[in-house]
């Protein structure tokens, strides 16, 4: 049995709390948040604290808070005997090096307010300063996911950059598609099966193999026609830049 204290009341904290509550081998001993109202998802009031220090003894203290709060909030727990971890992709372990046993427990996923997700496939990227702590974090991670991986701070930072492309920038492409639909009185929902299948293709193909479209084919006629439709300056700039990039990547002469 591993005991944990969760610090935070946001999407990550809420999802971790829910997942650990459903795990037979993890006890959540406390959940700490500045604002009691934000912890309404915790039904057992006895678990709630609004004090950012913890007298509770636990194996792992999890900082599930925004990146810029990790250093300062973590410091109030620096004397804890358990492992103190943060859950951030962009933050090095060193940000909490004042802890007796600093670590990282980074679930590589995007979380949505009010949505409880399954961690089963979510990579849990862990880091610690000694093998014993790595082992504890592995056991804890395995309670949530089949995929627990040791990733150091440098690799995690790079992984986070890749995640920005795969998630943030991808979502921005959806935004552009949605805007173009709205501007022309088309229902964006028409694109949703396409979007789902675009993601699903990666189960069998690499993104290089999965690439299709006029730029990939070097189909100048369609590219030209599309640019006649796109009137927004920013959309045109993006369309041209990305089409040229795809052409170049797939060996079509510009």
We find the least distance from the C-beta atom of residue 139 to its own copies, in angstroms, to be 20
* Rounded CA separation 75/159 (Å): 26
We find the least distance from the C-beta atom of residue 232 to its own copies, in angstroms, to be 11
* Rounded CA separation 186/80 (Å): 56
Indicate the SS3 state at residue 242. Answer: helix
Which C-beta is closer to its own copies: that of 71 or that of 129? Answer: 71
* Rounded CA separation 173/152 (Å): 30
Which C-beta is closer to its own copies: that of 50 or that of 72? Answer: 72
User: What are the residues facing 63 on neighbouring strands?
Assistant: 7, 86
Which C-beta is closer to its own copies: that of 55 or that of 185? Answer: 185
We find the least distance from the C-beta atom of residue 34 to its own copies, in angstroms, to be 19
We find the least distance from the C-beta atom of residue 25 to its own copies, in angstroms, to be 22
We find the least distance from the C-beta atom of residue 199 to its own copies, in angstroms, to be 4
Which C-beta is closer to its own copies: that of 58 or that of 159? Answer: 159
Which C-beta is closer to its own copies: that of 82 or that of 89? Answer: 89
Can you give the length of the chain in residues? 254
Helix orientation angle between 131-144 and 11-21, rounded to the nearest 10 degrees: 80
Q: What is the DSSP letter of 6?
A: E
The two beta strands, 83-86 and 102-107, are: parallel
């Amino acid at each position: 049995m591993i005991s944990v204290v969760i610090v935070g009341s946001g999407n990550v904290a809420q999802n971790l709390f829910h997942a650990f509550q459903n795990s037979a081998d993890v006890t959540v001993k406390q959940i700490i948040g500045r604002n009691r109202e934000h912890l309404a998802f915790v039904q057992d009031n006895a678990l709630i604290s609004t004090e950012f220090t913890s007298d509770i003894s636990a194996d792992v203290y999890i900082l599930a808070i925004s990146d810029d709060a990790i250093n300062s909030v973590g410091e109030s727990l620096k004397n804890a005997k358990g492992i103190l971890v943060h859950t951030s992709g962009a933050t090095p372990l060193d940000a909490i090096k004042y802890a007796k046993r600093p670590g990282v427990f980074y679930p590589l996923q995007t979380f949505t307010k009010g949505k409880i997700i399954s961690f089963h496939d979510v990579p849990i990227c862990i880091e610690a300063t000694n093998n014993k702590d790595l082992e504890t974090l592995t056991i804890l991670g395995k309670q949530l996911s089949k995929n627990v991986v040791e990733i150091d701070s440098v690799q995690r930072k790079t992984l986070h950059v890749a995640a920005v492309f795969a998630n943030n920038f991808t979502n921005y492409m959806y935004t552009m598609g949605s805007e173009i639909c709205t501007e022309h009185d088309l229902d964006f929902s028409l694109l949703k099966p396409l979007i789902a299948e675009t993601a699903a293709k990666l189960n069998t193909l690499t993104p290089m193999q999965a690439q299709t479209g006029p730029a990939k084919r070097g189909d100048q006629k369609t590219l030209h026609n599309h640019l006649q439709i796109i009137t927004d300056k920013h959309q045109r700039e993006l369309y041209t830049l990305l089409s040229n990039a795809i052409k170049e990547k797939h060996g079509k002469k510009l």
